[in-house]
Structure 1
Amino acid sequence: MAHEHHDHDHQHGHDHEHSELGEMDLRVRALETVLAAKGYIDPAALDVLIDTYQTKIGPRNGARVVARAWADPAFRDWLQRDANAAIASLGYTGRQGEHMVAVMNTPEEHHMVVCTLCSCYPWPVLGLPPTWYKSAPYRSRAVKDPRGVLADFGVTLPEATGIRVWDSTAEVRYLVIPMRPPGSDGLTEEQLAALVTRDSMIGTGLARSPAEAA
């Protein structure tokens, strides 16, 4: 396994516990209630912002990037050379979408993304980061035991497949291009995009088969 680590110097500890994530959600909701009651935030405006990132600037954008890369070898090559320009050509740009790098999964090498320092994440193509991505448990164990983390997500790779962990920062963010699933020949880009999951673009999941997406 190769690990790209951008000079982050901090302690790690990991227990992938869903109870902790549930408590975090409750804390966020409580904080939103207090801030709204004090007039610091407008709940309606907050709902619009969240909806924008979930339905308009969400994983579906990244899925379209992946589908184009699967269907168009020239676009795939462009994505590898200059991910910023290739992604922007599809209209996906914006804050936290700068300095993008696309990494391609192969039978020999599987890529996984983490931000050990905080939660740097490519919002324009993946939307809001999942709660587990921001948690200290994931951020530490992804570095120390990536194969174990993948197993937690239900992904078991062949022993011969290497795992490369990329550490996202404010200077560079990563988009994993999962392997195209067997049986997807002849599908349109729209149909291919339906096979792409958010987790597969982080590297903690795989693309769905056509049968699973049906």
Structure 2
Amino acid sequence: MVEEVTDFEVLEIALRELAIEKGLFTAEDHRRYTEFFEQLGPVPGSRLVAKAWCDPSYRQLALDDPIAACKEVGVDWLRPTGFGTPSDFTALHILEDTPTLHHVIVCTLCSCYPRPLLGNSPEWYRTPNYRRRIVRWPRQVLGEFGLHLPEGVEVRIEDSNSKHRFAVLPVRPAGTEDWSEDQLAEIATRDCLIGVALPTPGITANADRPVHPAAHPIDGGK
């Protein structure tokens, strides 16, 4: 059916078939789980940010107990699909930006990502180009995304892993003081919650990010 099957695809097929054979889940469970994650989007994350901007008590809840805060926007990290076994990805951290501190999330090992909150990760987030370079040259890489931060703003990179996931709570942009939560949620895009963009009035979609070779590749795969 395809010209080439990668080693990772062979491993996934073998592991999935073994898990079904051992009764850990059924083929129907796997189908429903896959369909669930394929239809996920960043709407819950956008709602969380907008609500935190409007409600100081909710903002504090998101920082202190993000798992509880997620339930208020329709995401239960313990049972994200509503069926099957609980998720073990329950160490979620909300990173609050300030006028002098900007967070960016990455997974340097693979592509760990808060999918129940932000949907499936974009392709560029999974590439070695982004994963290796954002920790070495964060300002240069952010510049490639069109984000140029003042020198007085500290850039802090947070590395996700299989047990710890992150989402960024950006600074609310000026001129939105009278906006509703619905209006604010529209500008709290996925890229803003990753940290490679800033919420901006009038911008309600992620820019098209073609994957291209690294300008400064890491020699020897390091």
Q: State TM-score, norm by structure 2.
A: 0.71
**Structure 1 stretch 124-133 or stretch 79-88: which is displaced more?**
79-88
Q: What is the CA distance between 1:53 and its match in structure 2?
A: 3.6
> Which is richer in helix?
1
Task: Classify the secondary structure of the residue corresponding to 1:176.
Answer: strand
Q: What is the CA distance between 1:208 and its match in structure 2?
A: 2.2
Which letter does structure 1 place at the counterpart of 2:69?
A
1:96–1:124 Cα contact (<8 Å) kept:
no
Q: State the partner residue of 1:166.
A: 158
**1:63-74 to 2 correspondence within 5 Å?**
63-74=46-57
User: How many equivalent residue pairs?
Assistant: 177
Unaligned runs of 5+ in 1: 1-25, 33-39
Distance of aligned partners of 1:48 and 1:118 in 2 relative to their CA distance in 1, 3 Å threshold:
closer
Greater RCO (CA < 8 Å, at least 6 residues apart):
1
**1:8-87 to 2 correspondence within 5 Å?**
49=34, 52-53=36-37, 55=39, 57-87=40-70
2:181, 2:4 → 1: CA distance? Answer: 40
Distance of aligned partners of 1:96 and 1:61 in 2 relative to their CA distance in 1, 3 Å threshold:
farther
Give a deviation string over 1:136-191, Cα, whole Å, max 9, x none: 11101011011111001000000000000000011110010111111111111111
Task: Classify the secondary structure of the residue corresponding to 1:84.
Answer: helix
**1:114-125 to 2 correspondence within 5 Å?**
114-125=106-117
Which letter does structure 2 place at the counterpart of 1:58?
G
Distance of aligned partners of 1:27 and 1:185 in 2 relative to their CA distance in 1, 3 Å threshold:
farther
Task: Give the greater-gyration-radius structure (CA).
Answer: 2
2:44–2:74 Cα contact (<8 Å) kept:
no
2:145, 2:4 → 1: CA distance? Answer: 25
Structure 2 counterpart of 1:178, from 167, 170, 191: 170
Q: State the partner residue of 1:127.
A: 119
Task: Classify the secondary structure of the residue corresponding to 1:63.
Answer: helix
1:96–1:123 Cα contact (<8 Å) kept:
no
1:190 and 2:182 are equivalent in the alignment: yes
Distance of aligned partners of 1:145 and 1:205 in 2 relative to their CA distance in 1, 3 Å threshold:
same
1:197–1:207 Cα contact (<8 Å) kept:
yes
Task: Classify the secondary structure of the residue corresponding to 1:107.
Answer: coil
Q: State TM-score, norm by structure 1.
A: 0.73
2:166, 2:113 → 1: CA distance? Answer: 8
Structure 2 counterpart of 1:110, from 87, 102, 105: 102
Distance of aligned partners of 1:160 and 1:192 in 2 relative to their CA distance in 1, 3 Å threshold:
same
Which letter does structure 1 place at the counterpart of 2:105?
V
Task: Classify the secondary structure of the residue corresponding to 2:187.
Answer: coil
Which letter does structure 1 place at the counterpart of 2:107?
C
Identity of aligned residues (%): 39
2:89, 2:167 → 1: CA distance? Answer: 10
Unaligned runs of 5+ in 2: 10-16, 18-26, 81-86, 205-222
Q: State the partner residue of 1:7.
A: none
